[in-house]
Structure 1
Amino acid sequence: MNFLEQSLDGRNQAGKYALVIIFGFIGGQILGALPLLKYVNQSGQTTMDFGTMGLDLNFGMILMLLPFIVSLILCVLLVKVLHKRSFSQTVNGTAKIRWARVGYAAGLWAVLMVVYILFELAVDPDNIAFQLNWSAFLPLVVVAVLLIPLQTTCEEYLLRGYFTQGVAGLTKSRWLAVLVPGLIFALMHAFNPEVQAHGFWIVMPQYLTFGVVFGLLSVLDDGIELAMGAHAVNNVFLCLFLTNKDSVLQTAAVFEQLEMNPVRDTISLMVLSVVFFIILYKKFHWDLSLLGRRVQK
């Protein structure tokens, strides 16, 4: 095992984590948001409605993703300087990223997302509107495929990688290394529009499910590549193929969900996550008893 054990190198001081979070993530969010704030101030809007701001949806999405790209760059640099830990060592504790795992998880989750859309079309076809606009969709493909994986990698690198290693180094508990970052991941999305529209306790279980499942994958697989692949394709897929008026990223997707059903969406996500986990468990022959073992050299 290498991933969590990377935190036992004597450079896991809490002060360093505070510096990375404050100057890396928060600082990157502030710096990266300056172009977006410029347009918000010019338009006089109080909401992120790019249409009323006079902005193209694709350009608006670039502005929304930019803070995560800046945060990713700053966090990687700070972790390298403060912890002497490379990008790959934060991903899986070694000098090489397992790209095949990233691709496998992305492909598997994409298949499950297709099943989800087909299910929605079957059970509530009147709630799904076809709205393909090629002139807006083709640029969206370029933006989504190039930039959204950077946004999701920022979240996975910081939470499932760096912060998970920190929790493991501090507590020596693999379960806490799953649950604490998973809870923080959910809370990071507490101010998303869909949460505000439908209620904290209704929507947040979706994010908590993602956070815990991705944490389990990372601890059992000794690295975050599976979470990186699934998270990236999930966000890319939704941006390209299914949007709704409450989505944090408004896009020219192929389908629009006219009314979000958060309870059904949560149940669907839980079912898909269980199927996803079982397939990966069978493929990679994980030892579930690992979760109860202390993190040690």
Structure 2
Amino acid sequence: MKNYLNVEEGKNSWKRYVSTTILASVFMLLGSIIYIIAEIIMVAADESGKSYVDFDSGVAVGINANLDFLLSHIMYICWIFGLWIGIRFIHKRKMKSLITANKRVNWKKVIWSFGAFSLLLIVSQLIDVVFNHSDYSWNHVSLKEYALLVLITLLLVPIQTTTEELFFRGLLLQWVSKKVKRPILLAIIVGLMFSIGHFANPEMNKSIILVGLDYIVAGFALTYIAIKTKSLEITIGAHAANNMFLALFLTTDDSVFGSIPSLFKVANTEPVANLIWSIVMFSVFYILCRGKIKKEEAADKDQLIA
């Protein structure tokens, strides 16, 4: 099985990696500025005078939550566009090279990962509901609002999660792996980069240490899985499953998604329990991924022998 970290296509000097990283980051910043301006315009246009921009959470309070959720993806669209420019014209290679070293992206693997991680999320959430049922309540959303949320989630959340995967576990992981060869150390370095990018999320107000560790566990686990499976296909599916599940089914007062019309509202999220669940889930997911990759490698060997 070819390893996507061993990039053979294009030009990949450290200067080009620096240039592409800066370029993509500038486009991300540009998208963030456009989003903030859009929020300010929406608040200014609100005749009730009750809406405002909460700059701590980066969410416009008092305006249509679905509209705000939709506009928040401007940043990711700009970000992935900047990344594409860098890969295409600075590195002179295809975006696919950030995902796999094979001729084509294995979408079956992406779908498998999405399904497997979704199942783990459902099981873990049902267990939590059994023990903490008083924390969950029906959100009383209208069918129209929820249908719009489903549409936005299906169309845009995969762009958000894939952009993060391509930047952190694609571009940056390929860059760092040129010098760092030990999988665990490599996963720690790039996993921390990914985690730090989430430290500004409002969920951190619950507990800087515990929620921060939760992000670090997720960042390390997904990076390690990408390294061991030699492609981004599995992490793209898992990341999309996680964020889409949260958007469609669970909302909290301190959610990074804002007050979107998810089906259920969670009154109390316990950082310790969340951290434990993350460790358990990613451990189980890694075991599943390892089993799948071993089967694929065995099948490849059988084909070569035949």
Percentage identity across aligned positions? Answer: 25
Question: How far apart are residue 237 of structure 1 and its match?
Answer: 0.5
CA distance in 2 between counterparts of 1:121 and 1:34 reads 39
Q: Which residue of 1 aligns with 2:47?
A: none
Q: Which residue of 2 aligns with 1:87?
A: 95
Q: Which residue of 2 aligns with 1:11?
A: 11
Amino acid at match of 1:13: S
Amino acid at match of 2:27: G
CA distance in 2 between counterparts of 1:46 and 1:279 reads 41
CA distance in 1 between counterparts of 2:94 and 2:70 reads 27
Question: How far apart are residue 92 of structure 1 and its match?
Answer: 1.2
CA distance in 2 between counterparts of 1:41 and 1:58 reads 16
Amino acid at match of 1:153: T
Q: Which residue of 2 aligns with 1:62?
A: 70
CA distance in 1 between counterparts of 2:109 and 2:193 reads 25
Q: What does 1:213-232 correspond to in 2, within 5 Å?
A: 213-232=221-240
Kept after mapping to 1: 8 A contact 2:38/2:71: no
Question: How far apart are residue 100 of structure 1 and its match?
Answer: 0.6
Q: Secondary structure at the match of 1:85?
A: coil
Q: What does 1:28-107 correspond to in 2, within 5 Å?
A: 28-42=27-41, 43=43, 45-47=53-55, 48-52=58-62, 55-107=63-115
1:215-272 per-position Cα deviation (integer Å, ceiling 9, x unaligned): 1211111101000000001000100001111110021111111111111011011111
Q: Which runs of 5+ in 1 are unaligned?
A: 288-297
Q: Which residue of 1 aligns with 2:119?
A: 111
Q: Which runs of 5+ in 2 are unaligned?
A: 44-51, 297-306
1:43-102 per-position Cα deviation (integer Å, ceiling 9, x unaligned): 3534344342xx211110111111012111210221121112211111112331011110
Q: How many pairs align?
A: 282
CA distance in 2 between counterparts of 1:286 and 1:210 reads 25
Question: How far apart are residue 147 of structure 1 and its match?
Answer: 0.2
More helix by share: 1
Kept after mapping to 2: 8 A contact 1:221/1:286: no
Q: Which runs of 4+ in 1 moved over 4 A?
A: none
CA RMSD in angstroms comes to 1.9
Kept after mapping to 2: 8 A contact 1:129/1:255: yes
Q: Secondary structure at the match of 1:50?
A: strand
Q: Are the structure 2 counterparts of residues 176 and 92 from structure 1 closer, same or farther at C-alpha, using a change threshold of 3 Å?
A: farther
CA distance in 2 between counterparts of 1:101 and 1:132 reads 36
Amino acid at match of 2:215: Y
CA distance in 1 between counterparts of 2:284 and 2:220 reads 15
Normalised to the residue count of structure 1, the TM-score between the two structures is 0.89
Q: Secondary structure at the match of 1:285?
A: helix
Q: Secondary structure at the match of 1:107?
A: helix
